Amino acid sequence: MSNEQEPGREALGQARRVVVKIGSSLLTNDGRGLDEMAIGRWVDQIAALHRRGVDVVLVSSGAVAAGMLRLGWQARPSEVHELQAAAAVGQNGLTQSYEQHFARHDILTAQILLTHDDLSNRKRYLNALSALRTLVDMRVVPVINENDTVVTDEIRFGDNDTLGALVANLLEADALLLLTDQEGLFDADPRHDPGAGLIAEGRADDPRLAAVAGGGGALGRGGMSTKIRAAKLAARSGAVTVIASGRQPDVLTRLLDGETLGTLLRPVHAPLAARKRWLAGQLQVRGTLTLDAGAIKVLRERGSSLLAVGVREVQGTFRRGDMVACVDEQGALVAKGLINYGAAEARKLKGQPSHQIEALLGYVEARSLIHRDNLVVMRLPD
Ligand SMILES: Nc1ncnc2c1ncn2[C@@H]1O[C@H](COP(=O)(O)OP(=O)(O)O)[C@@H](O)[C@H]1O
Ligand SMILES: N[C@@H](CCC(=O)OP(=O)(O)O)C(=O)O
């Protein structure tokens, strides 16, 4: 085993705050209930980091899988109400298990169940942030999962990789550690290709990674593709992401000692400001504006607000305050932002100068379609 330090790994050695995500594939020991021994080992490692002064926030899957076992179900249900029921039963077991294991180390845990809405509504997002910060400052280990019992398909994160990344953004964590049932990201899905090789390191935004990442197993949901997306999201607040095997002995403590394990995905750009990051993390886009070349240029080069005059097409059904995507004429994403007008108004305003707004609508909500504070412009590949 190599102790060689790779560029980017030193960030792990200096990490003061980390988000650890444990996937369903691991927690449930391939479907045979919660793997209590393994949970105990991860908790021991987290406790060791905690004693060193590292703040650890845990994002744990496993509610549905644990519930399935308790209810005697053999296969993951596909009906939403059954998934909700399984999650409700299983989450109890999960919480109980973490609480007992952390109690051996005199560490308190707090259960936090989040939904997509909690992080997309700015007020609830700020509430979640202050609650989490308070817990972390009190040296409690928050154990977070999606609130599966109240979500439906349209409003779910679905996989906890994304949730982990958004929590890393929220708390400005130094690292997101995604523990799974593989040694890391391979250049092909190792379930289907035994010759696949481990990728030790890469840039979080490298498009070649998404091309090799496949879907998940029978218990997990996201597979590697959501882990790559999570690394990109985490990079927005400057966090490094590691995808590593939760079955490697002492994986967490070894990673924070700088050991070369798993796949390290580095952020390559300076972190976005907190508000822009929140905007960039929004997953639900309600409409699309096609911009002309002039508008794209001022957005990219001057960070200007988006004026209606630069909009060619308006698609979708959205209301004032909703998130819309701005694309170029080829459909490539240029920016995302919160729009000041609903879809019907935006259609009337497209291509028109701002001084015409009153004549066209009878009122002026704002001079711009999207104010620059509510706009995040995508970075161009280097
Ligand atoms: N390129 C790849 N490298 C490694 N694993 C991959 C790759 N593509 C797909 N996978 C699959 O992703 C699975 C892990 O994702 P998932 O089942 O969602 O687990 P978790 O519950 O830990 O998130 C692995 O078991 C593996 O089969
Ligand atoms: N919230 C769900 C977890 C969703 C899920 O399976 O996520 P993942 O382990 O990231 O593939 C649960 O607790 O069962």
Q: What is the pLDDT, as a whole number, of residue 114?
A: 93
Q: What is the pLDDT, as a whole number, of residue 286?
A: 92
299 CA → ligand 2 middle, Å: 37
244 CA → ligand 1 middle, Å: 11
User: pLDDT below 50 — which residues of the chain?
Assistant: 1-7
Helices (H), the chain: 10-13, 24-27, 36-51, 63-71, 80-103, 116-120, 122-137, 160-170, 207-212, 223-235, 251-256, 274-280, 293-302, 343-349, 357-361
The minimum-distance atom of ligand 2 relative to the CA of 158 is 4
Instruction: List all residues whose CB is within 6 A of at least one atom of ligand 2.
Output: 23-24, 61-65, 87, 145-146, 148, 159-161, 216, 220-222
Q: What is the pLDDT, as a whole number, of residue 6?
A: 37
Nearest Cα residue to 43 out of 306, 246, 318: 246
DSSP strand pairing (55-60 vs 141-146): parallel
> DSSP letters of 170-223?
HTT-SEEEEEESSSS-BSS-TTT-TT--B--EEETT-HHHHHH-----SS-SSH
12 CA → ligand 1 middle, Å: 23
- The annotation status of 21 as a binding-site residue, yes or no, is yes
| Ligand 1 neighbour 23 (Cβ under 6 A) | yes
Q: What is the pLDDT, as a whole number, of residue 7?
A: 38
Write down the pTM of the prediction.
0.81
The number of the ligand nearest the C-alpha atom of 145 reads: 2
Give me the interface pTM, i.e. the ipTM.
Answer: 0.96
Which domains can be identified in the chain, with CATH numbers?
10-277 (3.40.1160.10), 285-377 (2.30.130.10)
Residue 115 token pair: 């939904």
